[in-house]
A and B are shown apart, each in its own frame.
Chain A
Amino acid sequence: MQELLEEAIVGAMRNPTLSGLVNLWGTTILAALSSCAVMKVLTLAGYLAVIKISDWRRLLSGVFMYVLGMGFSYLFVMIIIIKAPFWINILVIGSSVLYSIVGIVLVVFGIIYLGFIKAPLSRIKLLSKSDPDHDYLAAFLLGAFVVLMESLSCPICNPILKLFSAIYVKQGIFRASIVFVVFFLGQSTLPLISGLILAPLKQLLAKRDGFEYIQIAGAIILVLIGLNLLWLS
């Protein structure tokens, strides 16, 4: 799959026509169905389920922020590969710590949302419901952290980001940026589709008095993802 995606990227760079870009987008969607897709989609599903919002438009805005966070991390890792490759070693060591921290945070939040621990979540500014902007910031951070963790060890993302770094250096920013945006759209398609399904579903279930069950499901997903990250740390 990695070779196919590399071919699609090189093809789109040589011939940036609509068909070349659509081919790259499609190949990226297929490539994104690797093990990291489980983490991206499940984390998003868990997040959407536990937050108190049930209006589908606001949930979708959260999904977009999550995807933007993903994009931020892809760019961040790529800039590090281009500008400061020696930092990669620090990121390698740091990734284990990051996995542990994010894993523990997700398990703790999952347990809190399950109701086993009473914690004054409303006092945490980031989770306060008085200002909806905070929901978006949390979604952005979640997307950014998930990609920062998985893009380093993902068998698809890591070599592809290295390829993009080489393209940026050798072929210039303009054409490389167009191709990178298409790659990013391909990577975002699955989370966006999940959001388009899950957001209206949550609104529907919440209206039918099922909010508590949704929140329990979301909390369990967060605990599972947290345990998964701890196992991988």
Chain B
Amino acid sequence: MKVSLRDRAIMLILSIVSAVLIIRPIVAYQNFFRGNFFMDNGFTERAIGQYRRAIFLNPKFSDAYGYLGYAYKREKQTNKAIAAYRKALEINSKDSQALFELGLIYHDKEDYQKAIDHFKKASDLDPLNLNARNMEAITYRDMGEIEKAVSIWEKILQDNPEYKPAQANIDKLK
């Protein structure tokens, strides 16, 4: 044995430290994908564990925060979901999906004004996100502002006649 055990131990420790420093983002992605895999198969708690590990390795991982928020929402841990979505938006303020999901939570909590703000921002960032515009209209309807709601749905139908939920919501009001 030419290389002593002490030198081998030093090499191992240095390799582990270098790997932690260099491939941390890759491992964070591995955790993220594994979290998605658990989510797809209905194992939300395990998914939360994987997303948290991903965030631990890469605290700027906005997608992981977004999915963590969704997982918490599924587990009915609303406050934690809000915190995760806010963190995702803190890192990436243009994350329209996080804005939309956060809007849905505020809508469920009947905090309608906040919900509308988030749906508006989401549809401004992603004009193709018709669900955000539809939810904005639904929130106006729930607030009793029917005219505003109908005008949004009509605008949606004008631009996208094939979007069925808008017509269905108008029909429900009749």
Give me 12 other A-B pairs in contact (C-beta within 8 A), A115-B8, A155-B33, A231-B31 excluded: A89-B41, A114-B8, A153-B33, A153-B34, A213-B3, A216-B3, A216-B11, A224-B15, A224-B16, A224-B19, A231-B53, A232-B50
Chain A residue with the shortest CB-CB distance to B30: A35
Stretch from B21-29, B76-84, B106-114, B147-155 contacting the other chain: B21-29
Determine how close the nearest CB of chain A comes to the CB of B156; give it in whole angstroms.
27
Q: Answer whether residue A22 sits at the interface, using C-beta atoms and an 8 A cutoff.
A: no
CB contact under 8 A between A92 and B27, given known A115-B1, A223-B12, A224-B16: no
> For chain B residues 95-137, which have a beta carbon within 8 Å of chain A?
none
Contacting residue for B12 out of A88, A154, A220, CB 8 A? A220
- What separation, in Å, do the CA atoms of A231 and B42 have in the docked complex? 21
A93: B residues at CB distance < 8 A: 43
- What separation, in Å, do the CA atoms of A107 and B42 have in the docked complex? 31
Q: Answer whether residue B141 sits at the interface, using C-beta atoms and an 8 A cutoff.
A: no
A sample of 15 inter-chain contacts (CB < 8 A) reads A92-B41, A115-B1, A115-B8, A153-B36, A153-B37, A154-B33, A155-B33, A158-B37, A212-B1, A216-B3, A220-B15, A224-B15, A224-B16, A228-B30, A232-B30
B50: A residues at CB distance < 8 A: 232
A216: B residues at CB distance < 8 A: 3, 8, 11
A75: B residues at CB distance < 8 A: none
Chain A residue with the shortest CB-CB distance to B14: A220
Taken residue by residue from 204 to 233, chain A's Cβ proximity to chain B (1 for < 8 Å, 0 otherwise) reads as 000000001100100010011001100110
Q: Answer whether residue B46 sits at the interface, using C-beta atoms and an 8 A cutoff.
A: yes
Tell me the B residues contacting A by CB distance below 8 Å. 1-3, 5, 8-9, 11-12, 15-16, 19, 23, 26-27, 29-31, 33-34, 36-38, 41-43, 46, 50, 53
- What separation, in Å, do the CA atoms of A35 and B32 have in the docked complex? 11
Determine whether the beta carbon of A92 is less than 8 Å from that of B5: no
Chain B residue with the shortest CB-CB distance to A213: B3
Determine whether the beta carbon of B37 is less than 8 Å from that of A38: no
Determine how close the nearest CB of chain A comes to the CB of B104; give it in whole angstroms.
25
Q: Answer whether residue A96 sits at the interface, using C-beta atoms and an 8 A cutoff.
A: yes
Determine how close the nearest CB of chain A comes to the CB of B128; give it in whole angstroms.
17
B11: A residues at CB distance < 8 A: 216, 220
CB contact under 8 A between A35 and B33, given known A114-B8, A115-B5, A216-B8: yes
Q: Answer whether residue A196 sits at the interface, using C-beta atoms and an 8 A cutoff.
A: no
Q: Answer whether residue A174 sits at the interface, using C-beta atoms and an 8 A cutoff.
A: no
- What separation, in Å, do the CA atoms of A164 and B27 have in the docked complex? 28
Taken residue by residue from 110 to 121, chain A's Cβ proximity to chain B (1 for < 8 Å, 0 otherwise) reads as 000011100000
Q: Answer whether residue A152 sits at the interface, using C-beta atoms and an 8 A cutoff.
A: yes
A116: B residues at CB distance < 8 A: 5, 8-9
- What separation, in Å, do the CA atoms of A216 and B11 have in the docked complex? 9
Determine whether the beta carbon of A114 is less than 8 Å from that of B33: no
Chain A residue with the shortest CB-CB distance to B43: A92
Determine how close the nearest CB of chain B comes to the CB of A63; give it in whole angstroms.
23
A223: B residues at CB distance < 8 A: 12, 15-16
Taken residue by residue from 143 to 154, chain A's Cβ proximity to chain B (1 for < 8 Å, 0 otherwise) reads as 000000000111
Q: Which among B5, B15, B53 has the greatest number of chain A C-beta atoms within 10 A?
A: B15
B12: A residues at CB distance < 8 A: 114, 220, 223
A114: B residues at CB distance < 8 A: 8, 12
Q: Which among A35, A96, A212, A223 has the greatest number of chain B C-beta atoms within 10 A?
A: A35
